[in-house]
Amino acid sequence: MPEICRFQGIIIKLIYMDDEKHHKPHVHVYYGEYSASVGIDGEILAGSLPLKQLKLVNAWMILREEELYHAWNNAVRGMSFEKIEPLR
């Protein structure tokens, strides 16, 4: 269950075992033809997103930071994680 949230056409997945070898907690964000890996701290690690959608994702991550780190820690331990409430 890698999808962790979906809002305003943005799909956010928590894929911690990927080929990109990011060594920091991050999410994979998809919006139309765009995709990016974004650190939970807001740093774009790979790819790109339109500015408006990046701002929405960053706002969501700020509001849900504790839940995101909890989900990340569970995922890397092979434990399940819950979906996180979308930005409203």
State the pTM of this model. Answer: 0.90
Q: Supply the range of the domain harboring residue 57.
A: 3-76
Can you say whether the dihedral through the CA atoms of 66, 71, 77, 79 is positive or negative? positive
- Which pLDDT band holds residue 1 (cuts at 50, 70, 90)? low
- Which pLDDT band holds residue 64 (cuts at 50, 70, 90)? very high
Q: Is residue 86 part of a domain?
A: no
- How many residues can be counted in the chain? 88
Q: Is residue 16 part of a domain?
A: yes
Angle at CA of residue 57, ends 54 and 63, nearest 5°: 140
pLDDT value, residue 76: 85
Count the domains in the chain.
1
Q: Is residue 60 part of a domain?
A: yes
Which of 30, 24, 60 has the alpha carbon at shortest distance from 43? 24
Q: What is the pLDDT of residues 8-60, one digit of tens each?
A: 999 999 987 655 555 789 999 999 999 999 999 999 999 999 999 999 999 99
